[in-house]
Structure formats: C-alpha cells, structure tokens
Amino acid sequence: MKSLKTYKNPLLLLAFCLLLVSCGKTETKPQEEQKATTEEASSTIASLTAEQIKTVGIQYGTIEQKELTATLKANGALRVPNNNKANATSMYGGVVKSINVQLGDFVKKGQVIATIANPQFIQLQEEYLSTSSKIIFAEQELARQKELNSGNAGALKNYQNADAELKSIRTRRASLQQQIQLMGINPSSLNNNNLRSALSVTSPITGTISNVFSKIGSYVDVSSPVAEIVDNSQLHLDLNIFEKDLPMLKVGQIIHFRITNNSGEDYNAKVYSIGAAFENDSKSIPVHATVQGNKTGLIDGMNITAIVSLNNVTTDAVPTDAIVSADGKEYIFVVTDKRVEETEVENDKSEKTKTQVTTTNFEKIEVAIGVSNMGYTAITLVKDIPANAKIVTKGAFFVNAKLTNKGEE
C-alpha cells in the first residue's frame, strides 16, 4: 500500500500544474484584447476639462442642412477682341518727326499720335492744285471747240479730244483729292499758301496706348505702325474648360474671378459663348464671358483664376472652422459619452487603482468634404453618428492638438 500511495502523488501533482497553466492562459488573453481596445479608443477620443474648454473658447453646434452653390474652378486669361484693338499707321511712308503719346496714355478717336514728314506730300498737294487749274482751261477749250464745231468752223475730232482731255483731268483730280484726304488734309481748304510737309497720324479708336513701335527719326509706312491702342472697356474672359465639366456650363452663368498673381480684388463676368471645338491638343473647350462692372486694373493678357457658379445643392454642412485636416484626411469632433481611462493613481507600493477625470470627451470622426460657400462646407460622414449629435464648431483645431499631444505622450 505504501508503494501505491507514493506512485499516485506525482500524478496528482502533474495534473494540478497543468490546470494552473491552463487557467493562467485563459485569463491573460482578455486582458490583452481589452488593452488593445483601450489604445484604439484613446487615438480617436480627446478629453478636455471645463477650464480648458472655456480658455480655448470651444463652441458647439449640429450638422445643418444648407443650400450651397456648387462651383467649378478654371484657369483662363483676359482678352480684348480684335475689333477693339487698333494700330495707328500712316497711309504714306515718311520719317517720324514727333511722338505725342506714351505707354498707358488714354487717347480719343482722331487724336494725333505722331507726325511724319516726306517731300512727296508737297508734290501731291502741288499736283492737286495744278490739276484744278488745268480743269478750268480744259473746260474753256471744250466750250470753244463745241462752238466751232456747231458752226462747222472746226473739226469734230478736235471737239472730241477736248472732251476726253477734260474727263481725264477731272478723273486725275478726283484721285488726288482722295489721296489728300487720306493724308488728313481737307482738299477744299488747300491753296498755295498752306502746303503741308508733315502729316498727322491719328488714333482710329478710343482707348489706351499699349505699345509704341516707332521713335523719332525712324521711317514708317503702312506696314509699320507707330503705336497700338487697346480699348479695355470691352475686355472678355477666355476660360479653358475640360470636356467632363462642359455639361455644367450654360450661357448666362456668372463667373467670379481674380487675377492669378494678385488675389486681392474680385471681379465678375457673364458667359456669352461656349466653344464648339477643342482648343489645340489640350482637350479643353474655350468659354467666353464678358467682364462686368469694375474693370480697374485689368489689362489684356492677364492670367486669371475663375470660379464658375453651378446649381444650388442642399446638403449636410458644417461651419468650415469645424473641419480639421490630418494625415491627408478631414475630420470633425463629436461630443461623446465614451470614456477613456486617462490616469492611474498609485495608492501603495503593491496596488494601483484607476480613477476617471471629470471631462468632456470628443470623438474624432472622418468626413469627406464638398463645396464651400458662405462659411459652410458640405460634408459626408464616413460612419454614422447619433442624430442631432453635438459637434465642435469653433476650436476644433485645439481639440485636435490635444489629441495629437496625447498620442505623442
């Protein structure tokens, strides 16, 4: 009997050890899972005390239904139509004698831009006056030949020659008269005492001097303009719209734009034409709009950034300040009842008890943002939240900072 008892005790001891190991493993697994769940919750929940909330100035609100104007962003440039641009040129070649304007000067139609000189101008005027005198003589000769021919005292041939000569001189005078008018000289006021050696080059339109091509002493003719004039009051806006965005546009839509290199002033334009063909190889379609209202500071050729107003959309929206960006995503903070164990107080050397700090907790909720208008931004929640949940509308940046700092600690 003694030997059998001795044999059984080791077996009982081994079984008891196995039982202890099994129980130890069963209790350890829930603790690890609970720790992981707590860490995950801590990464999305921030806690602030009442004093912190007051100091930061956090304000609350709810997700609202807002009618926001959807917009389309596009790039373009300011253009002046060709019929509102002009070159001041001379119909006759000559040497520039004076230039009366500078870049940026405002000129009216008919205003003298420059004067040019050429001895040939005097020759044309001289020939015109001589031709006028010849007409008087030719008319007298024709009358004399007519009288002789009627009395059979002269040949019919002489009468016909006199008639042809008079018509030829009159044609030549009419041609010279038109040429002198193109020179800016009134033929009826021309006489031997007021022959002009210099001609005036005038502005063909009212506008602003955008370029001066000549200088004093240079030779100009009809192919070499003296200056360029642009009428900026007829500025147009040319936009490049991609094919996918074209259905959103229609004639009459309002465009808000700013100068790309100077975003301090807002301007408006109204769509009046939509292109029917692609622009080169860019797969973009030109859209033209008329600049309205104030045009101060706008110049032909300026690059602009435009916002095209589309249809009004009613959607979930929050104040733009309620949205924070982190890790390439957007978030809002919702007041939640979820609790996170924040501090551990050591009561003695062998035991620790966890205490809850009285705070307001904020859960970080990811959202997808849409159009922004009038201080509000459209959002789409990535996961559901309770109806009429209270969200942080002001101070979300500080709540996120608190959450980030806690993660770093």
**To the nearest whole number, what is the mean pLDDT of the chain?**
79
pLDDT per residue as tens digits for the range 140-198: 888 888 888 776 656 778 888 888 988 999 999 898 888 888 877 888 888 888 888 88
pLDDT computed for residue 45 by the predictor: 87
Over residues 73-96, mean pLDDT: 88
- Is the pTM of the predicted complex or chain greater than 0.75? no
How much is the pLDDT for 72?
A: 76
- Over 90: is that where the pLDDT of 206 sits? yes
pLDDT, tens digit (0-9, with 9 covering 90-100), for 54-64? 888 889 999 98
Q: Which of 306, 305, 304, 315 is nearest to 371 (CA)?
A: 315
| Antiparallel, parallel or unpaired: β 324-326 and 329-336 | antiparallel
pLDDT band at 247 (very low <50, low <70, confident <90, very high): confident
CA-closest candidate to residue 148, choices 156, 160, 140: 156
What pLDDT is attached to residue 106? 92
Q: Convert the chain into a string of H (helix), E (strand) and C (coil).
A: CHHHHHHHHHHHHHHHHHHHHHHHHHHHHHHHHHHHHHHHHHCCEEEECHHHHHHHCCEEECCEEEEEEEEEEEEEEEECCHHHEEEECCCCCEEEEEECCCCCCEECCCCEEEEEECHHHHHHHHHHHHHHHHHHHHHHHHHHHHHHHHCCCCCHHHHHHHHHHHHHHHHHHHHHHHHHHHCCCCHHHCCCCCCCCEEEEECCCCEEEEEECCCCCCEECCCCCCEEEECHHHCEEEEEEEHHHHHHCCCCCEEEEEECCEEEEEEEEEEEEECCCCCCCCCEEEEEEEEECCCCCCCCCCEEEEEEEEEEEEEEEEEHHHCEEECCEEEEEEEECCCCCCEEEECCCCCEEEECCCCEEEEEEEEEEEEEECCEEEEEECCCCCCCCCEEEECHHHHHHHHHHHHHC
- pLDDT mean over 255-275: 82
Residues 6+ away with beta carbon under 8 Å from 116: 90, 92, 94, 95, 96, 97, 198, 199, 201, 220
Q: Can you tell me the distance from the alpha carbon of 35 to that of 17, in angstroms, rounded to the nearest whole number?
A: 28
* Residue 145 pLDDT: 82
pLDDT at 281 over 70: no
CB atoms within 10 A of CB 173: 19
Angstrom distance (rounded) from CA 182 to CA 130: 19
User: Alpha-carbon torsion 93, 96, 99, 102, what sign?
Assistant: positive
Q: Across-strand partners of 211? A: 228
Mean pLDDT over 330-355 rounds to 59
Point out the least confidently predicted range of 208-212, 314-318, 336-340.
336-340
Between 89-93, 125-129, 370-374, 387-391, the lowest mean confidence (pLDDT) is in 370-374
pLDDT band at 239 (very low <50, low <70, confident <90, very high): confident
> Cα(316)–Cα(318) distance, rounded to whole angstroms?
7
Within 10 angstroms of residue 91's Cβ, the number of other Cβ atoms is 13
Whole-number CA gyration radius for the chain: 46
Does residue 220 register a pLDDT over 80? yes
Is the separation of the CB atoms in 62 and 302 below 8 Å?
no
Q: What are phi and psi of 377, to 5 degrees?
A: -130, 135
- CA 337 to centroid of chain Cα atoms: 47
Q: pLDDT class for 274, splitting at 50, 70, 90?
A: confident
**Banded model confidence at residue 12, pLDDT cuts 50, 70, 90:** very low
Residue 33: phi, psi to the nearest 5? -65, -40
Average pLDDT of the segment spanning 233-251? 83
What is the predicted pLDDT for the residue at 282?
A: 66
**Is residue 283 over pLDDT 70?**
yes
Report which of residues 88 and 314 the model is more confident about. 88
Render pLDDT for 367-390 as a digit per residue (tens, 0 to 9).
988 878 778 888 888 888 888 889
Tell me the sheet residues that pair with 199: 116
79-90 average pLDDT score: 90
Read off the pLDDT band of 39 (50, 70, 90). Answer: very low
Residue 340 has pLDDT above 90, yes or no: no
Q: How far is the C-alpha of 197 from the C-alpha of 105, rounded, in Å?
A: 27
| pLDDT (0 to 100) of residue 298 | 84
